[in-house]
Amino acid sequence: MKKNFLFNIIGAFSIISLTFLGSNFGEVMSYYKNQNIAIDGVHHTKNVLVYDDVTYLPVRDLANLLDINIDYKDGVIYLGETPTSQTTFVYITPQEAVNIALSYAGISHNENFSITKQQLDLNDTYNIEFIYSNKQYIYQIDKFSGQVVNSDSNEIPQASPITQIIAEDLAFSHANVDSSKIRQLQTILDELVYKIDFKVGNILYQYEVDAYSSEILKSDRSFDTN
């Protein structure tokens, strides 16, 4: 009721000086008086300014009558909520995302698990993947709330995955290159697939090798002068 009344009363009341002096307009007389104001049936007496048969009430007095917060910032009068100068965003770290995934899966930090993916995507979601006890766990965790937005798990065949060295040797053999001439070798394990990049001369080789079947899933080569 008070807030609805605010819009009506603001149209009639505003802040104004005691008198107006201007070289172009001359002197304009005004006067104060005690004015009875009723809000929701409750009467209040306020000292108001009368000018040209119009009664004016300071905005701060009006806000106090209506029990509304008032603030002045950067040249703006705020009635109600005052915006903060800066909004601070709090988000979880990659390690905290891993901890949340492990807790969700019921796995202790002391257990023997292997993180295979820990990545923040463009949707502010952490993609966490790890292997524990012949099972692959896949989690998506919101960066800001820490909530698990998606989860999945897959059984892994009992056979052990090949090592990184074996995966690299498979790529070198398939490319038919001399391993002693290889430079800028980079290998990562992503979703049980070894992704291998390396250069020989001005040729860039890119391979993907399945960590369990040893199958070469992708092979590509391109000219690179870097």
Residue 47 corresponds to which tokens in the numbers above? Answer: 């000292």
Determine, yes or no, domain membership for 73.
Answer: yes
Please count the structural domains in the chain. Answer: 3
Residue 18 corresponds to which tokens in the numbers above? Answer: 């005691």
pTM of the model as a whole: 0.37
Domain-terminating residue out of 49, 79, 109? 79
Residues 6 or more apart whose CB falls under 8 angstroms from that of 182 comprise 172, 198, 199, 200
Q: Same domain, yes or no, for 9 and 74? A: yes
CATH code, domain carrying 204: 3.10.450
pLDDT tens profile 133-179: 878 999 999 999 999 999 999 887 666 788 899 999 999 999 999 88
Positive or negative: CA dihedral 68, 8, 35, 57: positive
Q: What range defines the domain where residue 57 resides? A: 2-79
The neighbouring-strand residues paired with 140 are 127, 150
Q: Same domain, yes or no, for 7 and 73? A: yes
Determine, yes or no, domain membership for 214.
Answer: yes
Q: Same domain, yes or no, for 66 and 118? A: no
Determine, yes or no, domain membership for 86.
Answer: no
Q: Give the H or E element holding residue 181.
A: none
pLDDT tens profile 74-126: 667 877 776 665 556 688 999 999 999 999 999 988 888 889 899 999 889 99
Q: Same domain, yes or no, for 125 and 108? A: yes
Token pair 């901890």 is at which residue?
A: 99
